[in-house]
Every structure is written in structure tokens, then in C-alpha cells.
Copies of this chain bind each other. A is one copy, B any other.
Amino acid sequence: MTQTPKFALIKQHIIDNIQAAKWVENQRVPSENELAEQFSVSRMTARRALSELTEAGILTRSQGLGTFVASLKSQSSLLEIKNIADEVQARNGVYSCSVLSLESISAVAPIAIALGVEINSQVYRSVLVHNENEQPLQVEERFVNPALAIHYLQQDFNHITPHEYLSQVAPLTEARHTVEAIMPSNEVCQWLSLYNEEPCLQVIRRTWSSEGIVSFARLISPGSKYRLGGHLTFKRH
């Protein structure tokens, strides 16, 4: 009947008022009943507009008090960390991958701690080089908790990336990353075929599933060939 639903019109009205700075941070916005009367809709429809904007982080509500414009706080923005195979394909490159090592090793202290397993227990380790057009782009050294990915060593990582495989067998619930600029070790220089020393971007990623820590990975790329790109749009409407 109506081209755009009524609740969407009310949402837009609220967003407009906030963006025009007529309603400022922490200011009260009309109540469900007021909006219902103002727009000649039922309370449930007005409620839907307020609820969805609350879910989107634009408003905050509190029972008994009312609904308010949310504070923007420190406006921290987000950087997306994508699958490297997807990234290469997205720019029409040819992706390939070489498995340099795939083994079970005895976990030394820092690795055992990072994986939450006992020191000197067996863990899986893989070293892959991701290539774009046959040129090494990133080396991935990964330690995997064998309890959560029993068949890790049997995988063919030319067909499925370690991250994809692990997401299947142990659905991720949490991830932590750190990004640093480092000078590569000699070993990494060899893996990446770097003849001249150059700074590299290192991403360290630890992933959790509901069962515990799944894996711990170091992703190292030469600064001249790789950058992390991020893109974020704030308020959706």
C-alpha cells in the first residue's frame, strides 16, 4: 500500500532531526505514545522505529525514563581484516598457495600459553606462503590446538584456507588481532623471497571458539606489497 513502510518514515524523521542537530546528544526524543499520535500510527509501529534505531546504536532507551539520542563517544572506527585469497581475487590477481610445512610439534612455553595448552604438549603447526601472480605476498605461520581441529594435518590448503577450515570445524566466537611494523627475520626473508631488508606488516591473530582457543597465527607481508585496507560507513538508515 504505502510505498515505504510507516516505521521507516518515523526512523527517517528521527535521523533527520539528529543530523540537523535539532536533537543533540543525550537529549530526549518523543515517547512512543507521542510519536504514535504525531504520525497517526499505533504505539507498536512507533515503538518499532525507536527499537531499531536503538539496536543500531543511534538511540538509547531506559524503562521508565524515556528514549535519548545516544552519545557518539570516541567514535572509534573499524578496520576489516579480510581473507587474503578473497583480496587477491578481488583485484583480479591469481591466487596460489605453497605449503612449506605441516607438522605436529612440541609446544614451547609462549606458544603453549597462547593456545592455552600444556607446555611441551603436541600442537599442529603450518607454514604457508600466499602468492599473488606467483609472487609471495604473505607468509602465514599458524599454531593450532589439536583438540579442536583433529584432522588439521590432513587438509589440503590449496583447496581451503586454514581459516576457512577452522571456521567450519570450530565456529569462531571471538578473535583478537594486533598489527605491527617489524623488520623480518632471515627465515621470513627467505620465505618471502626478500633480498633487500624492508619493513613488514605483521598481523597476529588469535581465535576462540566456544570450546577454547583454536589457533594462533602470524601473518607477515612485505610493506612494499601489502597494506591493510579498511572502510567503514557510520550510520546506516
Contacts and interface: CB of A to CB of B under 8 A. Distances in A.
Interface of A: 19, 55, 72, 74-83, 86, 163-164, 167, 171-183, 198-202, 210, 222-223, 227-235
B81 A78 contact: yes
A170 to B, nearest CB: 11
Contacts of A75: 83, 163-164, 167, 172
Contact of A199 (B177, B199, B210, B233): B199
A74 B55 contact: no
Given A200-B199, A228-B179, A233 B82 contact: no
A140 B234 CA distance: 23
Contact of A82 (B55, B76, B164, B232): B76
Contacts of A74: 82-83, 86, 164
A178 B228 contact: yes
